[in-house]
Amino acid sequence: MQGFLTLQEGKSFQGEASGTWEKPVEGEVVFFTGMTGYQEVLTDPSYKGQIVVFTYPLIGNYGINEDDFESGYPQVSGVVMMQCAEEAYHYQATTSLKDYLNKWNVPYLTEVDTREVTKAIRSEGTCQAVMAHETINPSDTKLVGQIFQASKSEVETYGNGGQHIAVIDFGYKGSIVDQLQEHGVRVSVVPFTQVQKVHDLQPDGVVLSNGPGDPKDAMKFLSEIKGVLEQYPSLGICLGHQVIALAYGADTKKLAFGHRGANHPVKDVQTGRVFITSQNHNYVVDDMSVADTVLEVSFNHVNDGSVEGLMHPSKPILSAQFHPEANPGPEDALWLFDEFFTSVNHKKGVQVYA
Catalytic residues: 238, 323, 325
SS3 182: coil
Q: What is the DSSP letter of 71?
A: S
- How would DSSP label each residue in 105-119? T--EEES--HHHHHH
248 phi-psi bin (left φ>0, alpha ψ -120 to 50, beta other)? alpha
Q: Do β-strands 234-237 and 252-268 pair in parallel, antiparallel, or remain unpaired?
A: unpaired
Cβ atoms within 10 A of the Cβ of 199, count? Answer: 14
Check: CB of residue 198 under 8 Å from CB of residue 206: yes
How many angstroms separate the CA atoms of 118 and 154, rounded? Answer: 38
How many angstroms separate the CA atoms of 347 and 276, rounded? Answer: 30
How many angstroms separate the CA atoms of 309 and 183, rounded? Answer: 22
- How would DSSP label each residue in 48-64? TTEEEEE-SSEE-TT-B
